[in-house]
A and B are shown apart, each in its own frame.
Chain A
Amino acid sequence: MTTLSSTPDTVALQESIERHARYSLGKTWSGLSVRDRFNAVALAVRDRMVDGMLATEDRFKRSDSKRVYYLSIEYLIGQSLGNNLLNLGIREACREALSNLGTDLDDLEESEPDAALGNGGLGRLAACFLDSLATLGMPGYGYGINYEYGLFKQEIDDGYQREKPDNWLAQSTPWEIPRPDEACLIPVYGRIEDSVDRRGLYNPMWMDWKILIGIPYDMLIPGYGGHTVNYLRLYSARSSHDFDMGIFNDGDYFKAVEQKIASETISKVLYPSDAVVAGQELRLLQEYFLVACTLRDIIRRFELDHTSYADFSAKVAIQMNDTHPALSVAELMRILVDEKDVEWEAAWQTTQATLAFTNHTLMPEALEKWPAELLGRVLPRHLQIIYEINRRFLDQVRISFPGDAERAQRLSIIEESAPKQVRMANLAIVGSHSINGVSAIHSELVKTVLAPDFFKLWPGRFNQKTNGVTQRRWLLKANPPLANLITSAVGDDWITDLNRLRELEKYATDAGFQAAFQKVKQFNKEKLASVIEDAIYLKVDPNSLFDVQVKRIHAYKRQLLNVMHIVDQYLSLIEDGHQPAVPRTYIFSGKAAPGYWLAKQIIKLVHNVARVVNNDSKANPWIKVAFIPDYRVSLAEKIIPAADLSEQISTAGTEASGTGNMKLALNGAVTIGTLDGANIEILEEVGAENMFIFGLQPSEVQTLRQQKTYRPRDHYARSPRSKRVVDSFSSNLFSPHEPDLFKWIFTSLLDPNDEHVHVADFVPYIEAQRQVADTFGDRAQWSRMAILNIARVGKFSSDRAVTEYAREIWGVRDASLPSPVGAFAGSGETGQSNPSAVLTRA
C-alpha cells in the first residue's frame, strides 16, 4: 500500500524492500521478524550502493586515478543503516516507505548489531577516514580482517566486568558482499632452500609451506551525497580444503578437522587492546594475513591497467595504520623482487615511495616486537628480506653517523637481545616515505622521544596529521536535534565543510539560540536518562550536570582521578556538609581488556562507589554515579549528544590524540582536560576561556619521571582533601563486604613510581571541577561556552585530516565529483524532514 503523498523515491524504495523480503528472504512482509525487516531494508539500500560503487569504479578506472589503500587491523564501524541512508540522501524516503508498510525506521536502525571490529580510537579513526574518503570523492579503500567475533560484549556482575563473545556474523550481515572469485592464496610457515635458478643466480625457494585462503567480503562505503561509493574489503581465512581428505582417509578425522579449524582461526577473533600479544603466533599470522591478502589484491588491481612496476608508486599509496600492517614493507619487497623480477634497489625505492606509516602510541609496551625465531618460523622468506633491508640500512647509518655504534643499534630493525627481536616500528619507519603522529604534541613526541634517531636521519619524512571525526556520523546522525538547530541557523554546508560552524559564533550570546540549544541538550539528556534507567535501573536527573567519561578503561586515561573527585564531593557533603554548587551525574562507560586486572578493578571501583553514593539519601540529590555497560559506537551516539562536561584527563604526554574529545566538543560538551593529545589543539581553537584545563604539562610529568622527583606523600600531607580521598581507599568505605579490596589503590597512589601522578594532579583537578560547577550554575554562560565549542571545532573533521593525508602524503588530489549516482542521491537531506519538528518532539 502506498500513500498518496509518497514520492517516487518512496515508492521505488518500498517496492525494492518488498521485493527483497519476497525473493531474497523468501517471506511475505507481514511474516517477517524485526531482523528480517532490517535485512530486507538493508538489501534494498545495498542495491543502490552497488549501483553507486560500479559507477564510481568506472569513473576511477577511466581517469586512471591513483588509489589509496588504508590498512588497519581494526575498523570500529558500529551500525550502518542510518549512516548509509543519510549519506545516500534517502533516509526520509525510507522512513516513509517503511511507515507505509507499518514499520518504524528508528526501530529497525536500533535493532542493527554493531560491527565492533575494533577496540577504540584507532579502529574508529579508520571508520571515520573511510567516510571522509568517499565524501571527498577520493579512490580510497579500507582493508582489514573479517573477524567472526568482534570486541567482546561487556556485562557487569556485582561490579565486575564479564566478557561475552560477540558473534556478530552469526546471522551474517546484509552489508557484506562475498567475493570468492577474488580469493587469494597465502603461504605461511616452511623453510627457505638455497638454490640457483636457471641462469645460475642465487634463488631462495620457499618450501614446505602451508596455505591459507583469504576470501574477501566488501562493505560498501557511500560518501555523503552519494557521488562516490568506495568499499571496505575484509578478509576471512579459509583452509585450502574443507579438510584434508588424505588424513581423513587414513582414519585421523580429528586431525583433519583440527587443521581446518587452525586455518580458519586466523580471522576468528579480534584481539582486545592491551592484551599481551608479543610472542602470540596467531596475532602474527593475523597481521601477515591482512598484509598478504591486501597486497595481492592491490597487485591484481594494478596489473589490470598497468604493465610496469616503475609506475607503481604513482598509482598506489598504502597507509599503515600503526605497526600492525608493518609487514607490508617486507611483503611488498618480496613481491617485487621474488615475483616481479624487479631489482632490489628499484624495488626498495618503489616500496618506500608507496608506503606511509601512522604511529598511534608512545607506550613502550605497545610498540610491537616479534621474536626473530617466531617470525622466521612463520615467514621464513620475510625474515630473510628484513635482514637484508636492515643490512643495507645500517650500511647507510654507518655512513651518516660514522663510529656511532650505539646509534646504529638503536636504529636497527633487529634488536640484538636474547631472544633477538624484530622491531616493527623501525621496520615501518625504514620502509616508509612518511611517518606521522596523530596530534601536534604526539607528532613532536614521536620526533623527540619515540624516534629521535630516525628524525635526525630523515627529518623530512616526519609530519603531523591531527586526527579527526566525521561530522556525518557524530553530529548529523547521532544528534539530529542539534544538527537541525545548526542548519536552521547557518545552513547545511557544515555537513561537508565543518569549518562553516564558525558562523555559529555570532549566536553564542543570542538568548533565543541559547534557549534552543538548551532545549536540544535537555532533550538529549532526557533520552540518555531513559537509556540509563533501562540499562541499570538507575534514575538520574536530566537537570543535573551530565559529567561524561567514555573511553577504554586504562590507567593512563585516569578514570581513577575522576572517581577521586566523586569521593571528594561525596565526603565533603557527608562529613563537612558542603553541598556542591550544582547536582551532578557522573557517567562512565568503557571496556577493560580482559587480561588487564587494574582496569577491571577500576570498573569495580566505579560500581562500588556508585552503590554507596546512589544509596545515600543525603548524597543522591546532589551526586549520582552511572556506569553504562557495553560501550560501543551505537551507545556512544546516545551518550555524547547528552554530555555537558567532557572528561579528557589523561596523564599529560600519554594520549596520542583522542577523538572522543572532538566528538564531545562537537556536540556541545565543554571539556575539562589536561594538556594532552588533541586537547591542546582544541584549546587553541576554542580558547582557554571555553575549557577547563588543569594539571601538569607533558614536560613536567616527564621530568618527574626521569628525575624521580615525584613525591605523592608531600601532596597527600599538604592537602587534607587529598588525604581524605586517598585514605578512603584503605578503609572499607567502598568495599564493606570485600575487605581491603581497594587497598592497592591507596598504595599505588602514594607510590613515587605512580606513572600517572594522580595525587599531583588531584588538587588542580578538583579546583577546575569547582569552576565547572560554578559556571554550569550560570546557564547563559555555560551555553555560550558550549556553543563556542561547537562553532570552533571545525578543524577536527576527518575531512580535514584526510585532505591533509591526500595532499601531503598520498599525492592524491581531491577528485572532481560527477553528478550524484543513483536516483535518490544528493537530495540535500539533513537528517530530518522538518528541522524544527525534533525540538518539539521531546
Chain B
Amino acid sequence: MEISVNNVDGVAVAAVPVDELDASNASEFKRDITPVLQANTKLVLDLGRLRFVDSSGLGAMLSCLRQLSAKSGDLKLCGMSKQVRALFELVRMHRIFDIYATQEEAVRAFRH
C-alpha cells in the first residue's frame, strides 16, 4: 500500500491509506511503513480514514511504536473514529499510545 509521508516541523506525518486494517493487509502495512520507521524517530500516524481495525492491525501499530521506542523515538496517533477509539480502549491500547484528535495537536505534542 502506498503510504505518503509529510514532514511537519521535523515530525513525519503519515496516513493509514485504507478503510480497514486487518489480517488481510496488516503485513502489507508493516512492510510498507518500515522505510518510514527507519528514516524517522518522530512519527504521527493519521487514522482518519480507518473505519475498522482488528487485532492484526492493532498489532502492526504496536510494532511501529516498539520500533520507534527502541531508538528513543515515539509514535503518536490521531484522527481516530469513535469506533476505532473504542477498540483501542477495549484492549487497553489507549494507554500505550499517545492519542490526539488532530494532526496539528499530535505534531505539537512532540515539541513539549
Q: Which residues of A contact B (CB under 8 A)?
A: 185, 187, 190, 195, 197-199, 201, 203-211, 240-241, 244-247, 249, 338-339, 381
**Given that A187-B90, A207-B59, A208-B59 are contacting pairs, would A244 and B95 also be in contact in the complex, using a CB cutoff of 8 Å?**
no
Establish whether residues B98 and A198, one from each chain, have CB atoms under 8 Å apart when the complex forms.
yes
**Given that A206-B90, A246-B25 are contacting pairs, would A198 and B55 also be in contact in the complex, using a CB cutoff of 8 Å?**
no
Q: Mark B22-57, 1 if CB is under 8 A from A, else 0.
A: 111100000000000000000000000000101100
**Given that A210-B55, A244-B24, A246-B25 are contacting pairs, would A185 and B90 also be in contact in the complex, using a CB cutoff of 8 Å?**
yes
Establish whether residues B55 and A205, one from each chain, have CB atoms under 8 Å apart when the complex forms.
no
Establish whether residues B96 and A203, one from each chain, have CB atoms under 8 Å apart when the complex forms.
yes
Establish whether residues A244 and B23, one from each chain, have CB atoms under 8 Å apart when the complex forms.
yes
Most chain A beta-carbon contacts within 10 A, residue among B59, B91, B95: B91
Establish whether residues A206 and B95, one from each chain, have CB atoms under 8 Å apart when the complex forms.
no
What is the CA–CA distance of A678 and B8 in the complex, to the nearest angstrom? 74
**Given that A244-B24, A339-B89, A339-B90 are contacting pairs, would A211 and B95 also be in contact in the complex, using a CB cutoff of 8 Å?**
no
What is the CA–CA distance of A205 and B87 in the complex, to the nearest angstrom? 12
Known: A187-B91, A246-B23. 20 other contacts (CB 8 A): A185-B87, A187-B55, A187-B90, A197-B95, A198-B96, A198-B98, A201-B95, A204-B92, A205-B92, A205-B96, A206-B90, A207-B59, A207-B91, A208-B55, A208-B59, A210-B54, A240-B22, A246-B22, A247-B24, A338-B90
Chain B: how many interface residues by the 8 Å CB criterion?
A: 20
Establish whether residues B92 and A203, one from each chain, have CB atoms under 8 Å apart when the complex forms.
yes
How far in angstroms is the closest Cβ of chain A from B62? 8
What is the CA–CA distance of A199 and B87 in the complex, to the nearest angstrom? 20
A198 contacts across to B, CB distance below 8 A? 95-96, 98
Establish whether residues A338 and B89, one from each chain, have CB atoms under 8 Å apart when the complex forms.
yes
How far in angstroms is the closest Cβ of chain B from A342? 13
How far in angstroms is the closest Cβ of chain B from A343? 14
Establish whether residues A185 and B96, one from each chain, have CB atoms under 8 Å apart when the complex forms.
no
B101 contacts across to A, CB distance below 8 A? none
What is the CA–CA distance of A201 and B95 in the complex, to the nearest angstrom? 9
Most chain A beta-carbon contacts within 10 A, residue among B58, B59, B87, B92: B92
Q: Mark B78-112, 1 if CB is under 8 A from A, else 0.
A: 00000100110111110110100000000000000
**Sampled A-B contacts (16; CB under 8 Å):** A185-B90, A187-B55, A187-B87, A197-B92, A198-B95, A203-B92, A205-B96, A208-B55, A240-B22, A240-B54, A241-B22, A244-B24, A246-B25, A338-B92, A339-B90, A381-B91
How far in angstroms is the closest Cβ of chain A from B75? 11
Establish whether residues B92 and A209, one from each chain, have CB atoms under 8 Å apart when the complex forms.
no
B91 and chain A: residue at smallest CB distance: A206
Establish whether residues A211 and B96, one from each chain, have CB atoms under 8 Å apart when the complex forms.
no
Contact of A211 among B25, B54, B59, B89 (CB under 8 A): B54
A183 and chain B: residue at smallest CB distance: B83
A185 contacts across to B, CB distance below 8 A? 83, 86-87, 90
What is the CA–CA distance of A206 and B90 in the complex, to the nearest angstrom? 8
8 nearest CB pairs, A to B: A246-B24, A197-B95, A206-B91, A339-B89, A209-B55, A203-B95, A338-B92, A205-B92
What is the CA–CA distance of A338 and B90 in the complex, to the nearest angstrom? 7
B59 contacts across to A, CB distance below 8 A? 207-208
What is the CA–CA distance of A521 and B65 in the complex, to the nearest angstrom? 77
B26 and chain A: residue at smallest CB distance: A246
Establish whether residues A205 and B93, one from each chain, have CB atoms under 8 Å apart when the complex forms.
yes
What is the CA–CA distance of A206 and B93 in the complex, to the nearest angstrom? 8
Establish whether residues A205 and B91, one from each chain, have CB atoms under 8 Å apart when the complex forms.
yes
What is the CA–CA distance of A246 and B21 in the complex, to the nearest angstrom? 12
A199 contacts across to B, CB distance below 8 A? 95
How far in angstroms is the closest Cβ of chain B from A41? 38
A240 contacts across to B, CB distance below 8 A? 22, 52, 54
A300 and chain B: residue at smallest CB distance: B86
How far in angstroms is the closest Cβ of chain B from A344? 14
A213 and chain B: residue at smallest CB distance: B52
A211 contacts across to B, CB distance below 8 A? 54-55
Establish whether residues A190 and B92, one from each chain, have CB atoms under 8 Å apart when the complex forms.
no
B95 contacts across to A, CB distance below 8 A? 197-199, 201, 203
B55 contacts across to A, CB distance below 8 A? 187, 190, 207-211
What is the CA–CA distance of A209 and B57 in the complex, to the nearest angstrom? 11
What is the CA–CA distance of A247 and B98 in the complex, to the nearest angstrom? 33
B92 contacts across to A, CB distance below 8 A? 197, 203-206, 338-339
A381 contacts across to B, CB distance below 8 A? 91
A197 and chain B: residue at smallest CB distance: B95
How far in angstroms is the closest Cβ of chain A from B76? 11
A296 and chain B: residue at smallest CB distance: B86
How far in angstroms is the closest Cβ of chain A from B100? 13
B90 contacts across to A, CB distance below 8 A? 185, 187, 206, 338-339
What is the CA–CA distance of A442 and B58 in the complex, to the nearest angstrom? 49
What is the CA–CA distance of A205 and B58 in the complex, to the nearest angstrom? 11
What is the CA–CA distance of A189 and B51 in the complex, to the nearest angstrom? 22
A185 and chain B: residue at smallest CB distance: B87
B20 and chain A: residue at smallest CB distance: A241
What is the CA–CA distance of A410 and B98 in the complex, to the nearest angstrom? 45
B96 contacts across to A, CB distance below 8 A? 195, 197-198, 203, 205
What is the CA–CA distance of A199 and B97 in the complex, to the nearest angstrom? 11
How far in angstroms is the closest Cβ of chain B from A54? 24
B87 and chain A: residue at smallest CB distance: A185
How far in angstroms is the closest Cβ of chain B from A144? 22
B23 contacts across to A, CB distance below 8 A? 244, 246
A245 contacts across to B, CB distance below 8 A? 24
What is the CA–CA distance of A797 and B40 in the complex, to the nearest angstrom? 71
How far in angstroms is the closest Cβ of chain B from A263? 12
What is the CA–CA distance of A207 and B98 in the complex, to the nearest angstrom? 19
A241 contacts across to B, CB distance below 8 A? 22
B87 contacts across to A, CB distance below 8 A? 185, 187
A190 contacts across to B, CB distance below 8 A? 55
A339 contacts across to B, CB distance below 8 A? 89-90, 92
What is the CA–CA distance of A645 and B109 in the complex, to the nearest angstrom? 78
A341 and chain B: residue at smallest CB distance: B95
Q: Mark B4-18, 1 if CB is under 8 A from A, else 0.
A: 000000000000000
A246 and chain B: residue at smallest CB distance: B24
A205 contacts across to B, CB distance below 8 A? 91-93, 96
What is the CA–CA distance of A415 and B36 in the complex, to the nearest angstrom? 51
B56 and chain A: residue at smallest CB distance: A208
What is the CA–CA distance of A158 and B54 in the complex, to the nearest angstrom? 53
A206 contacts across to B, CB distance below 8 A? 90-92
B58 contacts across to A, CB distance below 8 A? 207
B83 and chain A: residue at smallest CB distance: A185
What is the CA–CA distance of A210 and B59 in the complex, to the nearest angstrom? 13
B93 contacts across to A, CB distance below 8 A? 205
B52 contacts across to A, CB distance below 8 A? 240
B83 contacts across to A, CB distance below 8 A? 185
How far in angstroms is the closest Cβ of chain A from B60? 12
A189 and chain B: residue at smallest CB distance: B55
How far in angstroms is the closest Cβ of chain B from A149? 29
B89 and chain A: residue at smallest CB distance: A339
What is the CA–CA distance of A381 and B23 in the complex, to the nearest angstrom? 22
What is the CA–CA distance of A381 and B58 in the complex, to the nearest angstrom? 17
What is the CA–CA distance of A208 and B91 in the complex, to the nearest angstrom? 10
A195 contacts across to B, CB distance below 8 A? 96
B25 contacts across to A, CB distance below 8 A? 246
A187 contacts across to B, CB distance below 8 A? 55, 87, 90-91
How far in angstroms is the closest Cβ of chain A from B22? 8
How far in angstroms is the closest Cβ of chain B from A437? 36
A193 and chain B: residue at smallest CB distance: B62
What is the CA–CA distance of A198 and B93 in the complex, to the nearest angstrom? 10
What is the CA–CA distance of A203 and B95 in the complex, to the nearest angstrom? 8
What is the CA–CA distance of A198 and B95 in the complex, to the nearest angstrom? 6
How far in angstroms is the closest Cβ of chain B from A253? 14
How far in angstroms is the closest Cβ of chain B from A488? 58
How far in angstroms is the closest Cβ of chain B from A791? 55
What is the CA–CA distance of A260 and B49 in the complex, to the nearest angstrom? 25
How far in angstroms is the closest Cβ of chain A from B102? 20
What is the CA–CA distance of A222 and B52 in the complex, to the nearest angstrom? 37
B58 and chain A: residue at smallest CB distance: A207
B97 and chain A: residue at smallest CB distance: A198
